Homo-oligomer: A and B are copies of this chain.
């Protein structure tokens, strides 16, 4: 891609792989640097992943939580955005390969994010799709909505209850938020629209192998979250490892649960592209990076965000795979690179330190938990805090208002504005067949 070099003032180029929180904030932090930044992403948009579960549960539209990366970096003249798939990193050549074409770099920042981790059970992916991309969320949404359509006309009580059983595997924030949202959809939003099946019978089962929900939170809040979910009517199973998943349901702690709607939220691993680094990998295929987020022996190559494994030397704790972690690493690496250009090493020697700004999870309407520093909150206050925070941090003017509007619709009018069953994409999935030969099984 020499042509790109031709066209820029500075010969120095930072190639950033991934337009998520890590990559995007790294690029933005380099706005005034005498550098060219090239952001490569397989999608043309930055996705606000923490709200993806709201697309899956028909509250928001994809466009509400996604903005074109180009638009975000529009006024950043030193940035170039490339839509493409990164095949591999060739450290020896200081190049990455995008759709087979070599793209040279002076600095490389890998922020490819994570993919669903089935812990060796790849065959579960088909029956229990995860939720990492827009297409995943719309596919899950279609499958959810289709289940109600099927339940309406299925006269076999066993089948009907299978259609109305929604199983979520994984008690982390995604699982907890999804369980709450689906339960509310089934109990508050959907029933009025149907005539025959009683959708309030819908069961939402949240399965967690560990002993408590939200393991990264204060145990007190895990307890609160559990209580709030149970209040909502979610069937929470703790210490219950899943031993089998197929089209017809899951097997958990020896028990068979019939369901045509199993969603995987049990864990993630680093995107495969980092394997081409040949660096040592930690848990979840994350790259074991140095304290400055670079990889051993390559001070100009950094891995940040969900793809990086870094134990903070201050706290002795692993930097968590959350947006704040990625975002802070992105900004840190941007500073390190700028120091490098000046021949300084101060920040490198200091190393990256994660600043915990707190974490939150919504359990549903008016229900949430939050911990900020020593502060703990649950219920309405936490929920309002969550609402305010997410409205303000959402990237993009339009999204913010559109989301606010959709939330008024969801939370005040108890409706869902995006209840569309659309034909799903090519990815492996049970839904499309079901959709092209739709819903009703009248007998």
Contact = CB atoms under 8 A, between A and B. Distances in A.
A439 B82 contact: yes
Contact of A425 (B63, B64, B397, B423): B423
A170 to B, nearest CB: 24
Contacts of A64: 61
Interface stretch (A220-228, A349-357, A399-407): A399-407
A420 B44 contact: yes
Interface residues of A, number: 72
Given A417-B398, A419-B68, A423-B135, A438 B83 contact: yes
Interface of A: 1, 3-4, 7, 42-45, 61-64, 66, 68, 70-71, 74, 77, 79-85, 98-99, 101, 103, 134-135, 138, 145-146, 149, 153, 155, 192-196, 397-399, 401-402, 405-406, 409, 413, 415, 417-427, 432, 436-443
Contacts of A437: 85, 99
Nearest to A77: B195
Given A80-B195, A153-B82, A425-B425, A71 B439 contact: no
Contact of A421 (B43, B77, B424): B43
- What is the total number of copies of this protein in its complex? 2
A198 B387 CA distance: 40
Listed residue (A79, A134, A195) with the most chain B CB atoms within 10 angstroms of its CB: A195
A417 B63 contact: yes
Contacts of A63: 61, 417-420
Contacts of A196: 7, 80
A129 B217 CA distance: 50
Contact of A438 (B42, B427, B438): B42
B71 A443 contact: no
Contacts of A83: 146, 149, 421, 438-440
A442 B99 CA distance: 9
A438 B402 contact: no
A244 to B, nearest CB: 29
B155 A3 contact: yes
Contacts of A138: 422
Nearest to A437: B99
Given A1-B442, A83-B438, A74 B192 contact: yes
Contacts of A61: 61-64, 418
Contact of A417 (B402, B426, B442): B402
Given A45-B420, A68-B193, A423-B427, 5 more contacts: A68-B419, A71-B419, A80-B196, A84-B439, A135-B422
14 contacts: A62-B420, A68-B419, A74-B193, A77-B195, A85-B437, A103-B442, A134-B420, A398-B405, A401-B405, A402-B417, A422-B425, A423-B426, A425-B425, A426-B432
